A and B are shown apart, each in its own frame.
Chain A
């Protein structure tokens, strides 16, 4: 992060190059759980983006006040507060979304993307850059969710943007003139076809995610970029313990206590893990 920074670069890196879902493999739980329809995906993405931008701004503004030792609990409290605010707003204004997302709305608190950006970016950068970084990452997250939601909804339910009116209820009851998403089911049954229900079931979620990840890897490989690996933990503040865990299960590698060693040791630990992985692949 030492090189020259520009606002545009910080914004666009989250969209493709460092897409949180397909490249950094963060936030997999909501990605799999809420993408049964594009509408839910958009709702989840927007909610997470709002939390991400707000928490990045707050954490970066407070970064010199928060003592290093208690930074993780402090971040969690800040994030949880914003999640609560968003949850209350959603409950009040878009009740259908609250029902659709269920427990995954409050679970934005433990979404690795948000804690990860707080730790990796907002704690080291100014407010403006942190806000832009949060916005870029949030939009990248939303895009990936929509991509998955599109595949799953069209294949699995035979609809697209179904229930979009419920999401836009905020702007009025009939803002789209009664239009509530595409429905291909009539056309499909005319040629004796049915949607593949499997794709909106959990198994389909894993499958679509796997195929999209493979495509992203293929594209990245064409540009000489490394594959997406599950180094989610490296971006997570608990990286130290996780890495140790995957290596040989030693008991002295705890890092959840907010000590500085975890921070400094993070990079070489990732290196170690990568070499270990390469070794295993050979």
Chain B
């Protein structure tokens, strides 16, 4: 149990998926302009991450049992792509309001390295099913935290006078650097809380 909490805190704060592991930088920079799109995108990422982890776990076991580990990358990306398509169809048919809220973000997620990244990490670290799910949840929540925080930073930044050559992407990256720096302050929190 302690280990699970540690995994969650790690994904959320100390080893934040976006700010210290650099997964999913494209949506982090591209979709964080407005708060509502940032929240929508991260919610969709959390859902897909959890489903992808649940779906790939038994598949990975099957691959290992048949000595087919080398197919992991190919199989995982196809499973994620198919899963995203299916989620989209199901949401569209049965949960129209949710589809309206999350639907547009779903196709983007197929080629998002955060989802494939978390699945591959779970395999590399040899987590069991519960640990893998908690790790994915932590990663997804960490993604959401980074997105929401950064949306706020960018909103403030819009009112700032920025030198011409820094305008646009460069200043966004420098701001991301400062947000990432602030997350350094959490290092040691796991040891401090006695979780490991």
Contacts and interface: CB of A to CB of B under 8 A. Distances in A.
Nearest to B182: A203
B121 A232 contact: no
B169 A202 contact: no
A217 interface: yes
A28 B26 contact: yes
Contacts of A81: 74
B51 interface: no
A202 B22 contact: yes
By secondary structure, the A interface counts as helix
B73 A202 contact: no
A229 B168 CA distance: 7
Interface string B44-83: 0000000000000000000000000011111001100100
A79 B188 CA distance: 39
Query: Interface size bucket, B side?
Result: 35 or more
By secondary structure, the B interface counts as helix
Nearest to B27: A242
Contacts of A8: none
B26 A211 contact: no
B184 to A, nearest CB: 7
A204 B30 CA distance: 20
B30 A233 contact: yes
B169 A213 contact: yes
Contacts of B111: 110, 112, 115, 236-238
B185 to A, nearest CB: 11
Contacts of B106: 256
B120 A107 contact: yes
A181 interface: no
B173 interface: yes
Most buried by B among A112, A198, A238: A238
A228 B169 contact: yes
Interface string B94-131: 00000110011111101111001100110010000000
B174 interface: yes
Contact of A29 (B30, B77, B113, B121): B113
B108 A251 contact: no
A78 B7 CA distance: 34
Interface string B6-38: 000000000000011111111001110100110
A272 to B, nearest CB: 16
A124 interface: no
* Chain A to chain B: the 6 pairs with minimum beta-carbon distance, closest first: A256-B107, A210-B173, A206-B177, A214-B170, A33-B22, A207-B177
Given A106-B116, A232-B26, 5 more contacts: A32-B22, A32-B25, A109-B116, A210-B166, A249-B104
